[in-house]
Structure 1
Amino acid sequence: MAKYDKESAFRTNLGTWGWVILVLGSALTIFQLYTAYRGAYVSLIQGAVHLGAALCLVYLLYPMKSTWTKKKGIPWYDVLFAGAALYTNFYIIQNYDRLINEAIIFGFTYMDQIVATAGILLLLEATRRVVGLPIVIIAILALLYGLFGNYIPVIGHAGNDWPTLASEMFFSSSAIFGIPIQISSTYIFLFLFFGVILVKTNIGQFFNDIALRLTGKYTGGTAKAAVAASGLQGMVSGSSVANTVGSGSFTIPMMKNAGFKPHFAAASEASASTGGQLMPPIMGAAAFIMASYTGIPYNDIIVIAIIPAVLYFSGVFLGTHFEARKQGIRGLSKEELPKTSNLVKRLDLFLPLVIIIGFLLAGFTPTYAALFAIGTAFVISFFRKETRMSPKEIIKILEEGARVALPVIAACATAGIIAGTVTTTGLGPKIAGGIIDLAQGQFFLVMFFTMIACIILGMGLPTTANYVVTATMAAPALLAFDVPVIAVHMFVFYFGIVADITPPVCLAAYAGAGIAKANPMKAGVTAVKLAIAAFIIPYVFVSNPILLLQGDANFLNVTLALTTAMLGMASISAAMIGYFITKVNWFERIAMIVGGLMLVYPNIVISLIGLAVFAGIAVWQMARSKKDDSGKQEAVTS
C-alpha cells in the first residue's frame, strides 16, 4: 500500500506521539458524529474545525519524504507545522464575526493576510504529503493564474495582488472552504467512517466469499468473483488504488493460481476496483459534490448512476469471460467454493448496506442514512466474538475514521483553490470556449477533447478532487450545447475516474501489477481493454440521456437502450480480447468493433444494422468452431 498509495505512507514508529494522534483523531470523529446528529455549524466554522484537525494529523502522521516512515518519533518542525495548521484554522473561528461582517467592507488586516498565506502554504504541503504532487501543481498554477492573469493572453483576466487573493482564498466560503470541503465536513466523512466500521465487521471478506460462491464454478470464475467483489467493495471505498490493493491481495493470487496471466489478473482487479468509484450509492464520495454542483438531489443521482455502472461492470465481466474461454480456464470445484451454510449465517452483514440504500431511496438525508447505517454496523459487530469490540478497539476505530479521511479532506480543500480560481476569474467558460473553437463547433470533437482534458486532469488525483477539477474546468464545454446537466457531469466524472487505469499513469494498474509481479504498463493496457465500456458509454448517455433515465425514459425505451448497449458491449469486449465463440481474426475483430459501436449508438436503425453484423459474426464463428472441432476429431481418429 505504501509503495503505490500515497495516503498509506504514514509514520509507523510514533512512540508517545501515538497517544496524541489517538486523542486528536478520535476527537475529530466524535465532532463529526456530533454535528451530524445535532446539525452542522455554519460552513466556515464547520470547515475550519474539520480542516484544522485534519492538517494537524497529516503533519504528525506523514513525513516530509515518504521514505522516512520508519524513523522514530516526529521531528520538531512537523510538530511546529501541526500547531500552525491548528492555529490558522482556529483563527477563523476566533475572528469569525469580524471576518464575515467587517473585513468585507474595511478590508483584511495584515494579520489576516499573514494567517491566510500561512494557511494556504500549510495546506499545499500537507496535500503533497498525503495525496501527491499533481494536484498541488494544478493548485499552484491556479494561484499563479489568479495573480498574473493580466499578463496572460486570450484567457487572461484583470489579475490580483497576493494579499487580496490569499485572504479571499482562505476566509471565504467559495474557495478552500467552498463546496468540496463543506461536503467533506458533513457527508463524506460519515461515509468513510461507515467504511471503516464495515472493515471491522469483515464485510470485505464476506463480499469476496459471496462473489466466489455465485460465480466461482463458472468459466474463469475466480476473475468473475474478483470483478463482483471489487464492485461491492467499491460502494464503500473512496480510492481506486486502496480498493485494488485491499481486494487484490486476495483475488490476484487466486486468479493466477487458476491460470490467468499475471498482467491480466492485475488488470481485471484494477479495472473492477476503479469501477467501484462509479458504483452507487457512494461513488467514491463524489456523488455528494455532484448533487451540490448540479442541484439534483443525491437520492436521485444514485438511481441515475445505476445503468451506466451496470454497463461498466458487464463489460469487465464479459472481458474476463472471453479471456477465460481463450485460455481454457475452467471454474472451481464445489470443494473449493465457500459453503452456502456459512454465508447464510453471515447474511446480517448485508444489513448496514441495506439500511443505507433503503434510507436514501426513502428520502432521508445522506447524513441520517449514514448515521443509522453506522449505528447498525456497530450493533452487528457485537453479534460475533471475532468482530466484537472492546472499549480500546472502539477508540482505535474512531482514530482510524479520521486517518482514512485525511487524504479526502486535504484533496477537497486544495481542489477548492482550483474551483475558486476557475469561478472567480471566469476561467471555466474561457476553457470551454477554447475547446469549442478547437473542435470548430463539432459536438463529437467537443466531447473527444473534453474526454482528453478529463483524463489528463484526473491522472494522479483522488476521486473527489478529480471530479471537482473536471467539473469546473472541463464540463462547461459540453454545457454550451443542449445536453442535460447530469449527463455532462457524469461524462466528466467517468473520464476523470478512468485516468486511474489509463497509461501512462494508471495508478490502480501499477498497484495491481505490484501484487501480481507483472509489467505495469501491460497491465494498464489490458485494463483499458477490459474497461472499454467506460470509454464508450459516456458518449452514449450524452447523446442519448435515456440511459441516465432522462428525457423520454419510459420502460420500453430504457429496456431497448439497455439491451442494445449490453449487446454492443459484448461485441466490443470480445473484439478487444480476441475471442468470442472461437478465436477472432483481424477481419472479425474490426467487424465486431464496428457492429458493437452501431449497437450502442442511440438510433434504432443503426442499432439493428449493428445487431445484424454481430449476429452474422456469431453464425460465422459457430461454423468455424464446428469445422475446427471436426478437424481435431479427424486428426485424433487418424
Structure 2
Amino acid sequence: MTDRNYKPQDQFNIDQFMAKYDRESDFRRISGLGGIAIAVIAVAFSLFQLYTAVFGVLDAQIQRAVHLSFGLALVYLLYPARKSWPRNRLHWFDGLLAILAVAGPLYIVIFYKDLIMRAGIVTPADMLVGTLGILFVMEAARRVVGWPIVIVAALFLGYAFAGPYLPGAFAHQGTTLSGLVGHLFYTTEGVFGIPLGVSATFIFLFILFGAYLEKTGLGKFFIDLANAIAGWASGGPAKVAVLSSGLMGTVSGSSVGNVAGTGSLTIPMMKKLGYRPEFAGAVEAAASTGGQLMPPIMGAAAFLMAEMVGTPYVNIVKAAAIPALLYFTGIWIGVHLEARKTGLKGIPRDQLPKIGSILAERGHLAIPLVAIVYLLVSGRSPMNAALWAIALAIGASMLRSSTRISLKDIVKGLEEGARSALGVVIACATAGIIIGVVTKTGLGLKLGSALIDLAGGQLLPTLFFTMITSIILGMGVPTTANYVITSTIAAPILVQLGVPVLAAHMFVFYFGIIADVTPPVALAAFAGAGIAKSNPMKTGVEASKLAVAAFLIPYIFVLSPSLLLINTTLPKVLLMMTTSLIGMTAVAAGISGYLIAQASRAERILFFVGGLLMIDPNPVTDLVGLGLLVIAYILNSSRGRFLT
C-alpha cells in the first residue's frame, strides 16, 4: 500500500501498538466471568478514590494501604508473570499471587491500631508480612513498569545492608533486616511514603479525568482543531502534530500514549506530504514527549513536585507554562525550517475542516479543561478541581447528542481510569523503597557531596552531571520514579549551590522526561518509528534534534529563574522570552543547516554558537551572541529569502 492510499485504520491497531511500545498497555483482555471480576475490582478502585475524595481521605497509612491493595490485585490479575503466557485468560498462579499480594497492605489496615501502639517494635508476623509485601511490590513493578526500576530499588536495598563493609564516604553503620522492613513497610517513610500518598489522593483523580476526556472524543477534537489552524501552512501536517500533541498534553501524561493517539493520524499525513519517515516519527515523538511538560496536568510527577517542594500545585502550573510554550515553539521552528528547506507545502484549505464548525459541534468538550484551570487558579485543591472536572467532563458530553456518553461508557471510564493508574501506583510504591533507604542511610547527602566534589563546586558542571544522571535514569525508569529519585538526591545539591528550590526540581523533572526521545532507549521515538515504519535509532536522533529546546530551557530557568515567574517582573519575563526565542531559532538553524537559504558550515557554527550565547541570560553574552547572529544572517540572506 502506498502512502497516498494509506489509511491508519487498515494498518494500525492501537492496542497492539501500545502493547509493543508501552509495558503498561501489555495487559490481559479476558472475557467471561474472569473479565467481569477484574472489571468489578477496577470499578471499585475508582469508586473508593471518588468516595474518599468527596467525604474525606482516611488516615494516611490506611488510605495508602487500601490504594496499594487495589493496585497490587489488579497488576497481578492483569499482567502475567511471563511474557509468553496468553493474554486472554488468567493463570492460576497469578490469581494466587494477587490474593497473597493484597494481604500485605490489608494487614496494615486490619492491625492499624496494634501497629501504632507498638511503633518501632517489629514482631515475627510483622517481619514476614513486611518482607513479602516489599517483594510483592517489586515483582509488581517488574510486571507493569519493567526491570530497570526493580534493579535500582534492589541496589538501594543492597546498599542498606552493605554500609559497614564499604570504604570511604559511602560507608554507614548498616541496618538489620527487621529495622529496614519496619522502616520501609510500617512507616510513611518507605513504600507508603509521599509518592504513594500523592498517588492515593489526587494523581488517581486526574488520571480518571483523562480517561473520561478520552471517552468524550476530546482527542479527535484537538486533532481537527489543529488541522484547521495549521494544516494549510508550510509543512502543515507536521505543525498539526506539534499543535495537537501540545493540546493533548494538557490532559495526557504519557509520551507513548500521546504518540499513539495523535501519531496514527499525523505521521501518515506527514509521509504523504513528503517528509522523511524518520523525521515524521521524530516530530510526533518530540511533540508528544513535550505533552508531559504542558500544564495543567503535566503527568504524575508534577503532582509529586508540588508535595516535594511544598507549594500549591497551581504554582507548578504557572512556573511550567512559559518553558512549555518555548519547548513547543522550538519544535515548531524546527519543523518550519525543515519544510522550507525541502519545499514542503501545506494541505489545501478546501480539504481542511473549518474552525467555526469544529467549535460549534465539539467546542463544549473543552469546558472541563477551562474549568480545571480556573479552579486551580482560584485556589481550589487539586483533588477538588479534579472532582469537578470529572463531573464536568461527563456533563459537557451530554450537551450534544453526537458527543453524549452512555451509562456504559461512564462505568467503562471508571474501569479504564483504574487500569491506567496502575503504573503510577506501583512506580510510586517502588520509589518509596528507594526514598526509604536514602532517609535510613543518609545516602542523599553522601551522593550530593560526591557530585559537588566531582563538579569542583561549580554550578554548570553540577547541572551537566545532574542532567546526565536524570536522562540515564529516565531511559529505564518511569518519569514518576525518575523524578522521585533525582529530586531526593540531585535537587538538594542544586539548592546548596544557590538554585531556587522550584527551579532545581523543575530541572530534574525536565531531563527525566526528555529521556523519552534520547537514544539509545527513546521509547516515544521508537513508538513514532513504529508508526512511521522508520529506523528507530535514526528517529531518536532526529527527535533529539527537534527537542533541542528541552535540553536548553532547563539551563535558562536555572540561570535566570524569571522564566519560572520567580521574583520577576513582566518586562524581565518578556525580555527573557525574546532572547530565548531568538536563541532557539538560531540553534535550530544551526542544526538543520537552513534559515533563509542552505547554510554553509561556517554559518551553521555562527548560528549555533550565537544562539547558545543568546540563551544565557547575561547582557554580555546576549550582545556577543546577537553580533554573531547578525553576521550569520547577513551571510545567509545573501542567498535566499525567509518565507513564512
Fold equivalence (TM over 0.5)? yes
Structure 2 residue 556 is the aligned partner of structure 1 residue 540: yes
1:342-353 matches, within 5 Å, as: 342-345=357-360, 346-353=362-369
Alignment of 1:218-617 (within 5 A): 218-345=233-360, 346-551=362-567, 553-617=568-632
Match of 1:574, SS state, is helix
Q: CA deviation at 1:476?
A: 2.4
Assess if the C-alpha contact under 8 Å between 2:365 and 2:396 holds in 1: yes
Q: Deviations over 1:161-189 (max 9, x none)?
A: 21221222111111111110000010100
Runs of 4+ in 1 over 4 A off after TM superposition: none
**Code of the aligned partner of 2:142:** R
Whether the 8 Å contact between 2:331 and 2:546 is mirrored in structure 1 is yes
Alpha-carbon distance in structure 2 between the residues aligned to 1:43 and 1:495: 31
Unpaired stretches in structure 2, ≥5 consecutive residues: 1-17
CA offsets 1:413-456 (integer angstroms, 9 cap, x no match): 10111111112211111111111111112221111111111111
Question: Is this contact kept in 2: 1:467–1:493, CA < 8 A?
Answer: yes
Given that 2:529 and 2:536 are in contact with CA atoms closer than 8 Å, whether structure 1 keeps it comes out as yes
Q: Which residue is equivalent to 2:73?
A: 56
Counterpart CA distance in 2 for 1:242 and 1:233 is 10
Asked if 1:12 is matched to 2:29, the reply is yes
Cα shift at 1:386? 4.2
Letter in 2 for 1:331: G
CA distance in 1, matches of 2:68, 2:593: 50
Query: Counterpart of 2:611 in structure 1: which amino acid?
Result: G
Provide the rounded CA distance (Å) in 2 between the counterparts of 1:332 and 1:611: 36
Distance in structure 1 (CA, Å) of the matches to 2:307 and 2:627? 44
Letter in 2 for 1:28: F
2:149 corresponds to: 135
Rounded to whole Å, the distance in 1 between the matches of 2:323 and 2:195 is 24
Counterpart of 1:22, as a letter, is A
Match in the other structure for 2:4: none
Is the partner of 1:625 in helix, strand or coil? coil
How far the C-alpha of 1:393 sits from its partner, in A, is: 2.7
Work out the CA distance in 1 between the residues paired with 2:589 and 2:212.
Answer: 39
Is 433-442 or 28-37 further displaced after alignment? 433-442
For the residues of structure 2 that align with 1:124 and 1:15, how far apart are their CA atoms?
Answer: 30
Cα shift at 1:14: 4.5
**Residue 636 of structure 1 corresponds to which residue in structure 2?**
none
Q: Which residue of 1 aligns with 2:8?
A: none
Instruction: Say which SS state the counterpart of residue 39 (structure 2) adopts.
Output: helix
> 1:244, CA displacement in angstroms?
1.4
Distance 2:249 2:482 in 1: 17
Tell me how large the CA RMSD over aligned residues is. 1.5
| Unpaired runs of at least 5, structure 1 | 630-638
Output the amino acid matched with 2:50: L
Identity of aligned residues (%): 52
CA drift of 1:559 comes to 0.8
**Secondary structure in structure 2 of the residue aligned to 1:369:** helix
Residues of 1 paired with 2:477 and 2:230: CA distance? 33
Q: C-alpha distance in 1, partners of 2:184/2:314?
A: 31
Query: Structure 1 residues 574-583 or 148-157, which shifts more?
Result: 148-157
Give the TM-score, by structure 2 length.
Answer: 0.95
Query: SS of the residue aligned with 1:16?
Result: helix
**Pick aligned residue for 1:23 from 12, 26, 40:** 40
Aligned pairs for 1:169-188 within 5 A: 169-188=184-203
Change in Cα spacing, 1:129 to 1:548, as seen in structure 2 (3 Å) is same
The superposition leaves residues 362-407 of structure 1 with CA deviations (integer Å, 9 ceiling, x where unpaired) of 1110011111111001112223334433333322221111101011
Structure 2: which amino acid aligns with 1:57?
L
Q: Are 1:148 and 2:162 counterparts? A: yes
Instruction: For 1:237, give the aligned amino acid.
Output: S
In structure 1, how many angstroms separate the alpha carbons of the residues matched to 2:630 and 2:272? Answer: 35
Report whether the alignment pairs 1:189 with 2:204. yes
- 2 CA distance for matches of 1:166 and 1:254? 54
Q: Can you list the C-alpha shifts for 1:240-263, whole angstroms capped at 9, x where unaligned? A: 112112221111111111111111
Change (3 A) 1:347 1:386: closer
Q: Which amino acid aligns with 2:276?
A: K
- Decide whether the 8 Å contact of 2:208 with 2:417 is kept in 1: yes
Note if 1:81 corresponds to 2:97.
yes
**How far 1:619 moved relative to its partner?**
2.3
Q: Is the 8 A contact 1:12 1:69 kept in 2?
A: no
- Secondary structure of the structure 2 residue equivalent to 1:456: helix
Distance in 2 (CA, whole Å) between partners of 1:485 and 1:389 is: 43
The residue aligned with 1:634 is none
Contact 1:450 1:477 in 2 (8 A): no
Q: Which residue of 2 aligns with 1:635?
A: none
Task: Report whether the alignment pairs 1:102 with 2:118.
Answer: yes
Alpha-carbon distance in structure 2 between the residues aligned to 1:102 and 1:583: 74
Q: Do the aligned residues in 2 keep the contact of 1:9 with 1:69 (CA within 8 Å)?
A: no
